[in-house]
Amino acid sequence: MKSNRRAIFGTITAGALAFGLAACGGGDSGGGEGISGELTASGASFPDAFYAAAIDAYAEVNPDLVLTYNAVGSGTGKSEFGEGINDFAGTDSPVGDDEGIEPGSYQYIPTVAAPITVSYNLPGVEELQLGQETLAQIFQGDITSWNDAAIAADNEGAELPDIDITIAHRSDGSGTTSNFTTFLDEATDSWTLGSGDTVEWPANAVGGEKNTGVAQAIQDTEGAIGYVDLADANASGLVTASIENADGNFTQPTLEGTTAGLEGAVVNDDLSYNPLNATGPDAYPITAPTYLIIRTDYEDADVAAGVKEFLTWLLTDGQELAAENDFAPLPDGLRQRALEALDETITD
């Protein structure tokens, strides 16, 4: 969907861009105080629940600025951004070289973060602790039974049944998979499957469509273990494992643990950051960041003003909506940096 299509349909894209901007400026009532218009965004499905709630709430703050966010996936969102179809895009992963977006033409704005839970279905086992190496060996199929010595070593005194392990993973390409495998890749020595939106899972694995599909697969498979976002794990009533963090403590996937992880994360100059396996005694180690990417140069001033208006709200009042949707708000330091970056990118 990238460069080739752009080359072939260059003119069509240009037309769509012009049309999009014209449509965006359509509802302009003269700038100044009341910013109005229509903004289109698309991208990551992972933060969709939060963005949907935020857009709903924002409609009451400023009903004249109408926003739509299509959860089409990070990859599609980025390519639409490159083609000028959307006004800003949501992504869980940094922009790559082959994704059709010019370097320097965009700015990351981190919005929220969320833990990726390791949920399991093992009747009678209510608490489970997993070390990082154990986790890697389970998910690459080296450990195939729940009563394996390595799992027992992490859970002293627990009674683990002799049931086959079934790995539940995303069958669709997913930023969640990317973050989860990146964690295993960076944090452990034993992980050999690499990282990416889709990786080569072992034979004792079963795929589910989206987070809901994985949650469903865990629910209806005895002995299953899989990675699911917190919102879906809670909605499906899944049992989550405590995961060993960088400090050697076992922590549950909670919003507090996630924010603790964000505080320990190193933030790059372009505001991309990696909260995986961050230090801190309470930090939950598998945390997925998510960003909105905005243009450094909007052709239409009204669109630019609208984007700035909404994102400023999202990073201030909008942050309060995060927790009730199972997302962790940004820690204050990172939030301030995001606001500053927004100010610098879109100057009035």
Partner 1 sequence: MRAGGVFGRSTTETGVTILTATASSRAPDDLDLGGDSRARATDRGFRGLVTFAGLTVLIVLGLILITTTLRALPAVREEGVIGFVAGTRWAPNDDVFGTFVMLHGTLVTSLIGMVIAVPVSIGIALFVAEVAHRRARKYIVTVIDLLATVPSVVFGLVGVLVVVPAITPAYQWFADSVASVPGLNAVFGTANTGRNYFTAGLVLAVMIIPIITSISREVFATVPEADKQAAYALGATRWEMIKGAMLPHSFGGLVGASMLGLGRAMGETIAVALVVGGSFHISANLFAPGNTMAAAIAQQWGESSGLHTDALVGIGVILFAITVLINFLARWVVRRAEIQMKGARS
Q: Which residues contact 291 (CB under 8 A, 6 or more apart)?
A: 90, 91, 92, 108, 109, 110, 111, 271, 272
Q: Does 2 bind partner 1 (CB under 8 A)?
A: yes
The piece of 120-128, 148-156, 218-226, 295-303 that touches partner 1 (CB under 8 A) is 218-226
Are residues 188 and 143 in contact, defined by beta-carbon separation less than 8 angstroms? no
Cα–Cα distance, 144 to 137 (Å, whole number): 9
Q: Does 330 bind partner 1 (CB under 8 A)?
A: no
Please pick, from the candidates 33, 98, 189, 269, the single residue that binds partner 1 as defined by CB under 8 A: 98
Over the window 99 to 118, marking each residue x when it contacts partner 1 by CB under 8 A and - when it does not, the resulting string is x-------------------
Over the window 180 to 209, marking each residue x when it contacts partner 1 by CB under 8 A and - when it does not, the resulting string is -x------------xxxxxxxxxxxxxxxx
Please pick, from the candidates 213, 257, 275, 306, the single residue that binds partner 1 as defined by CB under 8 A: 213
Beta-ladder partners of 239? 120
Q: Does 47 bind partner 1 (CB under 8 A)?
A: no
Residue 6 has φ and ψ, to the nearest 5°, of -65, -40
Beta-ladder partners of 67? 39
Q: At what angle do helices 301-315 and 48-61 cross, to 10 degrees?
A: 110
Residue closer to partner 1, measured from CB, 8 or 22: 8
Please pick, from the candidates 1, 160, 267, 323, the single residue that binds partner 1 as defined by CB under 8 A: 1
Q: Which residues contact 89 (CB under 8 A, 6 or more apart)?
A: 41, 42, 43, 77, 78, 80, 81, 292, 293
Q: Does 139 bind partner 1 (CB under 8 A)?
A: no
Cα–Cα distance, 42 to 212 (Å, whole number): 20
Residue closer to partner 1, measured from CB, 24 or 218: 218
Please pick, from the candidates 28, 64, 148, 172, the single residue that binds partner 1 as defined by CB under 8 A: 172
Cα–Cα distance, 79 to 347 (Å, whole number): 25
Binding site for partner 1 (CB under 8 A): 1-2, 4, 72-76, 79, 96, 98-99, 164, 166, 169, 171-175, 181, 194-209, 213, 216-217, 220-221, 223-224
